[in-house]
């Protein structure tokens, strides 16, 4: 399976070299191989992830009837707003040469649109599942960049931020039990 993913990713990467996000990161090849994303890719994915976390959690404050879910959602809004501001400061301060995206990925927007259609327990279960998936991806992204990233300031920030994301993942997994 990994070989198929790697080959498919390489084919896409060679066929379309000019994308907003490198094909290797977009297709998941870098993650499968444990390769650090390029700086621009890291910034794009980290910022989009924060946007999804914030927007889906704002929705959870309204849609969920579960107090524990609402508490988790409020923490996600607070923590991911903070990381968004820190990332924007690194980029606007000139320490990181990248562009902050203005929208989440189409996959994240689709997940958010699907959440908007749900109510009650169906919403809460899907929100919990989405949070676990999103945080697994974020932990992987921050781990790879924090260990092997090319920009020293961003690498240090990724390494410093990762423990909070790991805690979020643990909390999301606990909610899914």
Summarize pLDDT for 114-142 with one digit per residue, the tens.
Answer: 999 999 999 999 999 999 999 999 999 99
Flag whether pLDDT at 172 surpasses 90.
yes
C-beta neighbour count of 110 within 10 angstroms: 11
Judged on CB neighbours under 10 Å (0-12, 13-18, 19+), 45 is: buried
Residue 35's pLDDT is 75
Tell me, yes or no, whether 112 and 26 share the same domain.
Answer: no
Residue 36: predicted pLDDT: 84
CA torsion 68→72→78→80, rounded to 10°? -170
Domain count, the chain: 2
Closest by Cα among 128, 133, 108 to 63: 128
Residues 70 and 145 in one domain: yes
Q: Between 103 and 13, where is the model more confident?
A: 103
Task: Assess whether 78 and 23 both reside in one domain.
Answer: no
pLDDT digit string, tens, across residues 87-118: 999 999 999 999 999 999 999 999 999 999 99
pLDDT for the residue 29:
53
**pLDDT tens by residue, 58-85:** 999 999 999 999 999 999 999 999 999 9
48 and 127 in a single domain? The answer is yes
> Is the pTM value of this prediction over 0.85?
no
Quick one: 67 and 7 in the same domain? no
**Domain identity same for 1 and 26:** yes
Mean confidence (pLDDT) of the chain: 86
Residue 12 belongs to domain spanning: 1-35
Closest CA to 95 of 158, 153, 160: 153
How far apart CA 4 and CA 27 sit, in angstroms, is 12
Q: Are 108 and 51 in contact (CB under 8 A)?
A: yes
Contact criterion met (CB below 8 Å) for 135 and 26: no
């Amino acid at each position: 399976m990994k070989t198929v993913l790697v080959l498919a990713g390489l084919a896409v990467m060679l066929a379309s070299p000019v994308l907003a996000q490198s094909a290797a990161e977009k297709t998941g090849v870098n993650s499968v191989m444990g390769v650090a994303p390029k700086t621009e890719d890291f910034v794009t994915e980290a910022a989009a992830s924060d946007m999804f976390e914030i927007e889906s959690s704002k929705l959870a404050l309204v849609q969920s009837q579960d107090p524990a879910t609402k508490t988790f959602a409020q923490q996600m809004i607070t923590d991911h707003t903070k990381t968004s501001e820190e990332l924007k400061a690194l980029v606007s301060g000139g320490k990181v040469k990248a562009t902050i995206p203005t929208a989440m990925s189409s996959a994240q927007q689709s997940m958010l649109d699907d959440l908007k259609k749900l109510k009650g327990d169906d919403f809460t279960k899907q929100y919990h599942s989405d949070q676990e998936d999103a945080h697994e991806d974020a932990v992987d992204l921050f781990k790879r960049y924090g260990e092997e990233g090319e920009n020293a300031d961003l690498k240090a920030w990724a390494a410093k931020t990762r423990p909070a994301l790991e805690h979020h993942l643990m909390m999301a997994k606990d909610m899914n039990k």
